[in-house]
Amino acid sequence: MAQKSSQAIVLQTTDYAEWDRIASLYTQDFGRIRGIAKSAKRSQKRFGSTLEPFSHVKVFFVTREHQGLIRLERCEIVRAFPEIARDLKKMAYGHYILELVQMLTPERQQCRDIFSLMLFFIELLCENNFREDMMRIFELRLFALLGYQPQFLSCVACGGTFSLSESYRFSVKHGGIVCSRCQSKLHDLLPLSKGSIRIFQQVQNLDLSKLNRIFLSPATHEEGKLIFGKFLEYHIGRRPKSLSIIDQLR
Ligand SMILES: [Zn+2]
């Protein structure tokens, strides 16, 4: 048995048996883990309210080789985000962030950048000037970290470099832009303006700390919402549940 610890963000927690809880966390050092917190409902000392979704914690746990469920020993709060629970909209967007990471990341595969990306966007969510278009930026950056970054720099059919004198559409299946010469060869293409393509190129290149400086116009936001939504469904085979809640709030 090995004792380990890491900073983590709590993705979801469910009650288990009479006194236990099962929690899913995205850790900085071990990727996504799922563990059982024995007597968490009884022992305030070891867990308190640290296992609530969104909590940024330091988790201490024990792993056994070849065994799925980890044993969570205790948790310390690094930062709670009470602002999220006070606002229905923030709550819905926050759950969307957690759901995407829960659905799209493999268990126990470290990616520090995914941890940093989540933390950065959860912190942004808590600010007063949080905007919905930031969710599109989160999606795009997450796609890249998961290894399926959409191609905005060249046509996915002929490889021709992006040019302002060309016009483009987007292929969900091929994961990128398609120039006018290649559009008749492919099906199910979605509209995408050159202005949006240039913004998405910037989103892919910028340092994480500067992403909050990018503003998507309403038109770019709508194009991104449609394209990334379909792209996500194509890769995971269904629509995230939290998106339906966001739609109802709108
Ligand atoms: Zn082409």
- Over residues 54-62, mean pLDDT: 96
69: pLDDT strictly greater than 90: no
Retrieve residue 38's tokens. 């024995």
What is the CA(203)–ligand 1 centre distance, in A?
Answer: 23
CB-count burial class (<10 Å; 0-12, 13-18, 19+) for 133: middle
What is the CA(77)–ligand 1 centre distance, in A?
Answer: 51
Per-residue pLDDT tens for 106-140?
Answer: 999 999 999 999 999 999 999 998 999 999 999 99
E-assigned strands of the chain? Answer: 2-16, 20-27, 31-37, 56-63, 70-79, 168-171, 176-179, 189-191
What is the CA(160)–ligand 1 centre distance, in A?
Answer: 6
What is the CA(147)–ligand 1 centre distance, in A?
Answer: 23
- Over residues 183-193, mean pLDDT: 96
What is the CA(231)–ligand 1 centre distance, in A?
Answer: 20
Mean pLDDT, the chain, whole residue set: 94
- Over residues 181-190, mean pLDDT: 96
In terms of phi and psi (left: phi > 0; alpha: psi -120 to 50; beta: otherwise), the region of 98 is: alpha
What is the CA(228)–ligand 1 centre distance, in A?
Answer: 21
What is the CA(199)–ligand 1 centre distance, in A?
Answer: 20
The single-letter DSSP state of residue 199 is H
236: pLDDT strictly greater than 90: no
- Over residues 84-101, mean pLDDT: 95
Per-residue pLDDT, 67: 67
- What is the reported pTM? 0.94
What is the CA(152)–ligand 1 centre distance, in A?
Answer: 12
At 66, the pLDDT band (50, 70, 90 cuts) reads low
Share of the chain above pLDDT 90, in %: 83
Domains, the chain, ranges and CATH? 131-250 (1.20.1440.120)
